[in-house]
């Protein structure tokens, strides 16, 4: 018999906290607008054609009426979602003020729900909901200058307008002549090489063009089909090729006429340092002024054309302005490491009776990508609200904290119930760091954790399709869960993942140490994932609440189930000791017949896109090995260093293609 398949209904949830009250004024208009654009019954009522403005207004339901008529759970979910995905949260990047506000909000909601704080600080102060951990260091720019000293010119360039110091190099200061190195590419097609034999860069300031040789429309000469860029256009190979020739500094100039919107940006994204000297991004305009000042006979476009179409009798790299006395550029770039700390937010619903020592963990990640400096599919510079990923899951966890506490309160005093731990994980986007930290430092022994339930992206459920992954190694779990799936009002697309599989979110950290898992995520991915377009107006509140009610039913049933799930032999997998050093820049899923991995998405400017891999490709071999599951793919990625080139064999439109993928560095900082 199914029990408690619905969250208890509430007329007054009391969801407003000190934080939501603080932002209520600034969020009121957003809340009202979202109530209109996200409620199906409102969308269905179109104003009659030709109706005068007054009639149009009268035909549209009033905002307060729409909100008041909504299911109380939908109302509460809506409020949590809008606050967590608001600009005030700054994209919830760990180490930022926005993430601190998001953690404050979840902590306050756990407290209001009646969940107990999980941790006792070592100084004996009051218990806290926070589990702090370190994300290492983040480089802060202390100094960044470029001064042109050529001929009659003695002028500093302007930070943020003309140039920016990047994370692609190290701290340092230098003064030297300018040396042009074209696109910085060695071993290109047809013998292409940006470096003239015998031309020394030592002690000089290297001027490096962004991207790769272009045609007269600013498109790549080397990319497949003439769209985008080949793998040689990325920073990794170019910076490494220049750096090994020992310049004093590197200026990466946005190439004039390039058919790419990034030529208007001074961001180089995140990543590890690739050179031991300062590396600066320079605007096209500042690059033009710099070249004109130091070599009046040339323009930046002249230099680009030399690099686009090499001439047999012309050098590819050379000093600008020859050896004119006193024609130099002075640069300085200095950074300092600032420790970055963040917290998992953890609340406890104590169990009782014979089952109290056993634990269910319900979690999902609270963090997102901030301004998109890493992990973005459209590049940095825009706010990434992360409404679906994963404000939706975080809002669901807050609802579950209250609904399950009320369900526990309604049980007889002598009822036997497991303890439930609710967690908003931090630094999931940086490599599941928060969930791995909790698994290594649990508040209850991991051996006593009988189930981990993870929410990640439950906000844009299409056609009521929700994907739920369970542990294939947990005997009887599928049979136990199926009636709840069937009674949820959703079409549950069920997958069973073996140990080490089903990764990509925080449940993987628990499955790796033998804890059975249930993982819910939208079954149909959208193109707004990891972009600035993942906004709260696109969330289906009603379907999200259905997913929350399914999770409530499963969790409450497991809380009372006498037996824990027995795990088959070999149910554990290795934990990753450290985050990956590289990113492949694509999302994949296993093909049903085991013949490879289907590419379901590629990250803009990531390793896969630069190499020419496309959405819909099927990867059948990776690093010269048959590729049958994601676990093998992920394990191979862990063995590589940034800059490694891996052979991929893909099937596209019935044709087998061999593509070489240069693996870009994973971000050092969150």
Token pair of 334 as six digits:
């200095």
DSSP string, 48-101: PTT--HHHHHHHSPPHHHHHHHS-HHHHHHHHHHHHHTSGGGTT--TTSHHHHH
pLDDT of amino acid 187: 85
| 350 in Cβ contact with 412 (< 8 Å) | no
How much of the chain is helix, strand and coil, in % rounded to 5?
30, 25, 45
Pairing outcome for strands 328-349 and 130-150: antiparallel
In 3D space, the residue among 605, 602, 626, 622 whose CA is nearest the CA of residue 613 turns out to be 602
- Delineate the domains of the chain, giving CATH numbers in brackets: 18-135+340-560 (3.40.630.10), 152-326 (3.50.30.30), 582-665 (2.30.42.10)
Give the number of other Cβ atoms within 10 Å of residue 228's Cβ.
18
The Cα–Cα gap between 73 and 88 comes to 24
Token pair of 502 as six digits:
């089903």
In 3D space, the residue among 369, 368, 292 whose CA is nearest the CA of residue 329 turns out to be 292
In 3D space, the residue among 232, 283, 322, 372 whose CA is nearest the CA of residue 664 turns out to be 232
pLDDT of amino acid 177: 93
Q: Is 522 helix (H, G, I), strand (E, B) or coil?
A: strand
Residue 454 CB-density burial (10 A; 0-12 exposed, 13-18 middle, 19+ buried): buried
Q: What are the φ and ψ backbone dihedral angles of 663, each rounded to 5 degrees?
A: -80, 120
Which residues, given as ranges, of the chain have pLDDT below 50? 1-51, 500-501, 571, 573-578, 668-670
Residues ≥6 apart with Cβ < 8 Å to 28:
none
DSSP letter (8 states) at residue 568: P
| 367 in Cβ contact with 400 (< 8 Å) | no
| 251 in Cβ contact with 282 (< 8 Å) | yes
Any idea what the Cα angle at residue 508 is, between residues 601 and 81, rounded to 5°? 65
**Structure-token match 């979202």, residue found:** 34
| 267 in Cβ contact with 164 (< 8 Å) | yes
DSSP string, 594-619: SS-EEEEEE-TTSHHHHHT--TT-EE
pLDDT of amino acid 570: 55
Q: Is 210 helix (H, G, I), strand (E, B) or coil?
A: coil
In 3D space, the residue among 439, 437, 550, 425 whose CA is nearest the CA of residue 485 turns out to be 550
| 330 in Cβ contact with 318 (< 8 Å) | no
In 3D space, the residue among 515, 375, 378 whose CA is nearest the CA of residue 444 turns out to be 515
For residue range 314-326, what is the model confidence (pLDDT) as tens digits? Answer: 899 999 986 556 6
The Cα–Cα gap between 15 and 24 comes to 12
- With residue 42 as reference, give the H or E element that holds it: helix 40-43
The Cα–Cα gap between 430 and 659 comes to 27
Q: Is 238 helix (H, G, I), strand (E, B) or coil?
A: helix
- Long-range contacts at 99-104 (CB < 8 A, ≥ 24 apart): 99/342, 99/366, 99/367, 99/426, 101/19, 102/366, 102/367, 102/394, 103/130, 103/342, 103/343, 103/345, 103/366, 103/424, 103/426, 104/19
The Cα–Cα gap between 7 and 310 comes to 69
Residues ≥6 apart with Cβ < 8 Å to 441:
131, 133
For residue range 115-148, what is the model confidence (pLDDT) as tens digits? Answer: 999 998 888 889 999 999 998 777 789 999 999 9
Task: Kindly report the length of the chain.
Answer: 670
Token pair of 326 as six digits:
């006193």
In 3D space, the residue among 402, 387, 510 whose CA is nearest the CA of residue 458 turns out to be 387
Span between the terminal Cα atoms of the chain, in Å: 46
Upper half-sphere CA count for residue 531 (Cβ side, 13 Å): 12
Q: What are the φ and ψ backbone dihedral angles of 536, each rounded to 5 degrees?
A: -70, -20
The Cα–Cα gap between 172 and 276 comes to 8
Upper half-sphere CA count for residue 447 (Cβ side, 13 Å): 0
Bridge partners of residue 206, in order along the sequence:
179, 250
- With residue 37 as reference, give the H or E element that holds it: helix 18-37
- With residue 525 as reference, give the H or E element that holds it: none
The Cα–Cα gap between 471 and 366 comes to 24
Token pair of 121 as six digits:
């600080």
pLDDT of amino acid 325: 62
Token pair of 308 as six digits:
């686009």
């Amino acid at each position: 018999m199914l029990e408690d398949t619905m969250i208890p209904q509430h007329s007054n949830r009391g969801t407003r906290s000190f934080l939501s009250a603080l932002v209520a004024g600034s969020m009121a208009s957003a809340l009202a607008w979202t109530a209109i654009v996200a409620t199906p019954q409102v969308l269905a009522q179109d104003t009659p054609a030709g109706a005068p403005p007054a009639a149009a207004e009268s035909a549209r339901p009033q905002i307060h009426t729409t909100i008041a008529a909504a299911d109380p759970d939908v109302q509460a979910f809506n409020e949590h979602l809008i606050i967590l995905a608001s600009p005030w949260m700054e994209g919830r990047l760990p180490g930022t003020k926005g993430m601190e506000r998001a953690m404050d909000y979840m902590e306050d909601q756990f407290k209001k729900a009646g969940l107990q704080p999980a941790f006792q600080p070592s100084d004996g102060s009051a218990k806290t909901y926070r589990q702090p951990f370190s994300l290492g260091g983040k480089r802060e720019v202390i100094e960044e200058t470029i001064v042109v000293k050529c001929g009659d010119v003695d002028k500093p360039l302007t930070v943020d307008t003309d140039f920016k110091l990047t994370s692609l190099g190290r701290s340092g200061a230098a003064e030297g002549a300018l040396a042009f190195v074209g696109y910085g590419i060695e071993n290109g097609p047809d013998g292409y090489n940006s470096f003239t034999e015998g031309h020394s860069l030592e002690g000089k300031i290297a001027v490096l063009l962004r991207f790769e040789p272009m045609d007269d429309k600013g498109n790549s000469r080397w990319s497949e089909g003439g769209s985008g860029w080949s793998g040689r256009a990325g920073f990794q190979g170019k910076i490494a090729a220049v750096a090994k020739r020992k310049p004093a500094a590197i200026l990466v100039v946005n190439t004039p006429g390039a058919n790419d919107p990034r030529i208007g940006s001074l961001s180089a994204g995140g990543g590890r340092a690739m050179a031991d000297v300062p590396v600066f991004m320079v605007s096209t305009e500042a690059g033009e002024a710099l070249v004109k000042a130091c070599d009046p006979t040339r323009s930046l476009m002249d230099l680009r054309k030399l690099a686009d179409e090499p001439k047999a009798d012309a050098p590819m790299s050379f000093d600008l302005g020859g050896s004119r006395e006193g024609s130099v550029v002075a640069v300085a770039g200095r950074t300092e490491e600032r420790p970055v700390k963040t917290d998992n937010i953890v609340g406890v619903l104590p169990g009782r009776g014979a089952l109290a020592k056993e634990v269910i963990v319900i979690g999902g990640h609270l963090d997102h990508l901030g301004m998109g400096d890493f992990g973005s599919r459209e590049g940095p510079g825009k706010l990434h609200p992360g409404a679906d990923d994963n404000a939706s899951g975080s809002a669901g966890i807050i609802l579950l904290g209250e609904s399950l506490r009320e369900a526990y309160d309604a049980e007889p005093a002598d009822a036997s119930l497991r303890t439930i731990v609710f967690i908003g994980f931090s630094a999931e986007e940086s490599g599941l760091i928060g969930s791995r930290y909790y698994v290594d430092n649990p508040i209850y022994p991991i051996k006593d954790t009988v189930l981990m339930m993870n929410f990640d992206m439950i906000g844009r459920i299409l056609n009521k399709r929700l994907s739920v992954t369970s542990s294939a190694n947990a005997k009887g779990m599928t049979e136990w869960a199926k009636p709840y799936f069937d009674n949820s009002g959703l079409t549950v697309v069920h997958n069973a993942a073996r140990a080490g599989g089903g990764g990509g979110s925080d449940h993987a950290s628990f499955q790796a140490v033998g804890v059975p898992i249930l993982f819910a995520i939208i079954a149909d991915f959208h193109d707004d994932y990891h972009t600035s377009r993942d906004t709260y107006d696109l969330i289906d509140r009603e379907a999200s609440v259905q997913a929350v009610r399914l999770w409530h039913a499963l969790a409450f049933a497991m809380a009372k189930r006498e037996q824990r799930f027995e795990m088959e032999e070999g149910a554990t997998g290795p934990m990753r000791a450290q985050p990956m050093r590289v990113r492949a820049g694509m999302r994949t899923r296993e093909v049903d017949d085991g013949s490879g991995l289907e590419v379901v998405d590629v990250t803009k400017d990531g390793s896969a896109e630069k190499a020419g891999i496309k959405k819909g490709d099927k990867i059948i071999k990776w690093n010269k090995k048959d590729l049958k599951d994601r676990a093998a793919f992920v394990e191979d990625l862990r063995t590589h260093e940034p800059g490694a080139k891996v052979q991929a064999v893909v099937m596209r439109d019935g044709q087998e293609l061999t593509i070489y993928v240069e693996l870009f560095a994973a971000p050092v900082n969150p």
